[in-house]
Structure 1
Amino acid sequence: MGKITVSETRGKPRHNPLFKDISTQGGNLRSTPRSSHGSNKAKSSRANKKENEEEGFLDASASRKILQLAKEQQEELRDEENAERPAFGSSFQPEEEEDDEEEEESDEEDEDEEEYSDFEVEEEYEEEEIEVDEQDAELFNKYFQANGGLGEQSINLADKILAKIQEREIEIQQEQEGKPSEGVLLPPKVIIAYEKIGKILSTYRHGKLPKLFKVLPSLRNWEDVLYVTNPESWTPHAVYEATKLFVSNLQANEAQKFIQTVLLERFRTSIEDSEDHALNYHIYRALKKSLYKPAAFFKGFLLPLVDSYCNVREATIAASVLVKVSVPVLHSSVVLTQLLQRDFSPATTVFIRVLIEKKYALPYQTLDELVFYFMRFRNASQPQSHDSMDVESKDKKGPQLPVVWHKAFLAFAQRYKNDITDDQRDFLLETVRQRFHHGIGPEIRRELLAGKARLTSESAPKEAIMVDAF
């Protein structure tokens, strides 16, 4: 088979052009191409109009005009027909039309009368008086009037609110006067449930506390419910967990009640019941946790412990908690002032010494109280406590003071020797001379003589007024 040359293919096309195929099949070939983008609206509208004209279609405006002309022609034909009718049926046609008009008018009048009559009936119904039964009136007055009378004033919401506020003020006043409101009797189910919780806490060692016990701090009468659980039978582990729960969830005044009623009692019984008079480890941890609310600890534990004439061992164990836990200076200043104003006892002096050795920047008011406290012992006839740490060997200067007092005096001289005035220094030196201790007295004198006088009150940078932290 031979090759086909280019000259042979040029003169003979293989098929007809595409536009001839389309025209022979009856289709219409568009002379102008459509616009690919709709950016120019004017061009596209003109092109569409031209296409519609070429294809024989009418646009909307032209069709609207044609319809309007057709409508006008029909109306003209109808008018001509109506004008020609009287010539053929003038004798009876108008009467029928008049009758029709009379019937329409009569129908309209009937409708108006019906509407008017309905309106009158409604007005008469609204104006009709309704007789109310006396029992219904009393029932209405019971719920919507003030005191059951028809002519009396209704209850006002503001009056209710003011009444509630007055009741609350009376309750607060009774609580402040020490006359609490009447207690609420606990339901039997609550008593049974918390008695079971008390049995659980009496054998508790570790793990999660019962959920009913965890909601106790959120109850208003938590003290009554707590009494049902019998805190005296709790294990030391349960006391520690309960202290964490109540101290962290209650306010300081409420946490103070828990510390005084539960923790203080368990502290003393734990020392008394132990063979070596030592405190249980978990009770000791509970004391440390209670110090996270310093005001509650001091008012609920330390001051009641001192007022109950505790011994030196109890005071030493409790004071060791103060050594290990940081306490704000204002709380320490207030409780130190309270201790200085109480009668002398070795247990009280233990707490005084520990608070001095914490090396606070105490206000001048507290420092003056400390100076007056040590100056009180210059007089040989100063009454002393029966609980003494040293042997009471009476001489012309009276009974000797316990060693803990001299140690507290030495701690004060070492820490605050530059915060006292010259007059106070002279009085303290005289106290050392009269209440001399052969081992500690020379140290106190050396510290006092090495100190410098503090600035006057006019130029003193330190605050002289102590804020009551409680």
Structure 2
Amino acid sequence: MGKHKKDKLSKAIRDNPITRPGGGLGEQLHNDQVVNPSDQKQRSKDKNRMEEDPEFVDNKTTKRILKQARLQQQQLEDELAEEEETAGDRSQRRSGKSTVRKSVKLGGVSAAQESEESDEDEFALVSGDEDERDQETFSKEISIDPDDEQALEMFMNKNPEPTKKLGEILMEKLTEKQTEIETQFSEAGVVIHKVDPRVEEMYEGVRDVLKRYRSGKLPKAFKLIPRLANWEQILYITDPNGWSAAAMYQATRIFASNLKEKMAQRFFNLVLLPRVRDDIDEYKKLNFHLYQALRKSLFKPAAFMKGFLIPLCESGTCTLREAIIIGSVLAKNSIPLLHSSAAMLKIAEMDYSGSNSIFLRVFVDKKYALPYRVIDAMVYHFLKFEKDKRLLPVLWHQCFLAFVQRYKEYLSSEQKEALQGILRVHLHQQITPEIRRELMNSKCRDEVIQENAAMMVDS
């Protein structure tokens, strides 16, 4: 019997041999050592296709991507399951409704879009009540006591000086000469003509572009304004009050490089100065584009001094914030000696304000070889306070110290004695001893001139 069963089993194996997926052991070793021609062809096809189409992904990379996608899918499902439990509890407590989460799928809608939709649903259900509650608490915190409001009004100026806008200034200039069509504007030499309706319509379109200008090219019609005879009249049509800060910077570049000195002076005075002051007053700082516009305006230093800096100081309303910001522009840019000397001479002769000390100190720190006329004007500027009994600010003492440190050897003996007399009237605990030490331990202008003359005789 046993022998009969063995014969049947051997016969079944011969009739139905077992086929292994990789073949026998010898075939597997052979396949590992030798490259399969079909696999090699497939790889070459994939390589050629990758060269032709850079977006093609081969089979191995596809498998790795799918594997990582499945792992990320599983992680997202786990996280969404946890968020679903917490969000469901919160929404049931607040709105009595349960939120339905969408499962993440790789096909069809992307997982990022579904997660955004789920976030929006949760935000709509959860944040509504929070916004209302925050708004209630905010309105309660902002309430102002009437007594405090009256106390604040006591510190406000009761009779503020009316300020004119740029449009009003230009309109006054235009109405003054409206009857004299062929006459000229005062200094700029601009002739008023009747503007063609088509030209006016074109520059109204330029006005709309400049209001929302951020970057890029400006309209060619705007670049032609400096070449026009009635450039102020056309400039008024574009409404400089409504320009963006970037448009003001580009306009300053164009007008500073294409206009003559007197015309550029009028542009700085009528357009740039009011805009800079308004921006500082509103935002308590200066826009970057307007700051760059100030630096570009120094391309014509004479026009800047006459049209911007001197009118600002003469107004008597220049704040310390404005003086510090504009002073930083002067300190960072190179200004010719003659223009700086003329500005220092003019500012030193003005009525004193804290801003004047800031501008004078900026020019002094540039270490110019100033003419004796400017040095004498600076000495007289400090000597004016001999009979002034007011308590002078620290800015005045700092400007005094900077001037003495830079130009102590350019002072005469009489000027030194006069300045030492000022130190007895106006004292500062820390700065006054330094000023006195600089004056005592330095040579006079007379001694330097005598030494130079003696050296010339000896040579």
| Shorter-normalised TM range | 0.5 to 0.7
Q: Distance in 2 between matches of 1:222 and 1:182?
A: 9
Give the greater-gyration-radius structure (CA): 1
**Residue of structure 2 equivalent to 1:327:** 335
Instruction: Check if 1:355 corresponds to 2:346.
Output: no
SS of aligned partner of 1:287? helix
**Residue of structure 2 equivalent to 1:92:** none
The 3 A distance-change label for structure 1 pair 431 and 310 is: same
**RMSD of aligned Cα (Å):** 2.5
**Residue of structure 2 equivalent to 1:249:** 258
Alignment of 1:109-124 (within 5 A): none
SS of aligned partner of 2:265? helix
Query: 1:304 aligned to 290, 304, 311, which one?
Result: 311
Structure ranking higher in helix proportion: 2
**Residue of structure 2 equivalent to 1:376:** 384
Q: Distance in 1 between matches of 2:190 and 2:300?
A: 27
Query: 2:348 aligned to 336, 340, 353, which one?
Result: 340
**Residue of structure 2 equivalent to 1:101:** none
Alignment of 1:12-411 (within 5 A): 183-274=192-283, 277-308=284-315, 309-379=317-387, 382=388, 398-411=389-402
1:142-180 alpha-carbon deviations (Å, 9 max, x no partner) = xxxxxxxxxxxxxxxxxxxxxxxxxxxxx999756x797
Per-residue deviation at 1:322?
A: 0.4
Q: Distance in 2 between matches of 1:174 and 1:448?
A: 54
The 3 A distance-change label for structure 1 pair 358 and 458 is: closer
The 3 A distance-change label for structure 1 pair 173 and 332 is: farther
**Residue of structure 2 equivalent to 1:79:** none
Instruction: Check if 1:420 corresponds to 2:411.
Output: yes
Q: Distance in 2 between matches of 1:214 and 1:181?
A: 17
1:217-260 alpha-carbon deviations (Å, 9 max, x no partner) = 11111110011001111110000011001101111111111111
Q: Distance in 2 between matches of 1:303 and 1:213?
A: 28
Per-residue deviation at 1:353?
A: 1.2
Percentage of identical aligned residues: 45
Q: Distance in 2 between matches of 1:329 and 1:209?
A: 35
The 3 A distance-change label for structure 1 pair 190 and 326 is: same
Q: Distance in 2 between matches of 1:290 and 1:179?
A: 18
Per-residue deviation at 1:183?
A: 2.1
SS of aligned partner of 2:410? coil
The 3 A distance-change label for structure 1 pair 222 and 272 is: same
SS of aligned partner of 1:204? coil
Q: Distance in 2 between matches of 1:179 and 1:310?
A: 27
CA contact (8 A) 2:188 2:263 kept: no
Q: Distance in 2 between matches of 1:179 and 1:460?
A: 51
Q: Distance in 1 between matches of 2:345 and 2:182?
A: 30
The 3 A distance-change label for structure 1 pair 285 and 181 is: closer
**Residue of structure 2 equivalent to 1:439:** 430
Higher relative contact order at CA 8 Å, sep ≥6: structure 1 or structure 2?
1
SS of aligned partner of 2:445? coil
**Residue of structure 1 equivalent to 2:443:** 452
Gapped runs of 5+ residues in structure 2? Answer: 1-180, 453-459
Q: Distance in 2 between matches of 1:179 and 1:237?
A: 26
Q: Distance in 2 between matches of 1:442 and 1:204?
A: 54
Q: Distance in 1 between matches of 2:281 and 2:320?
A: 13
The 3 A distance-change label for structure 1 pair 182 and 296 is: closer
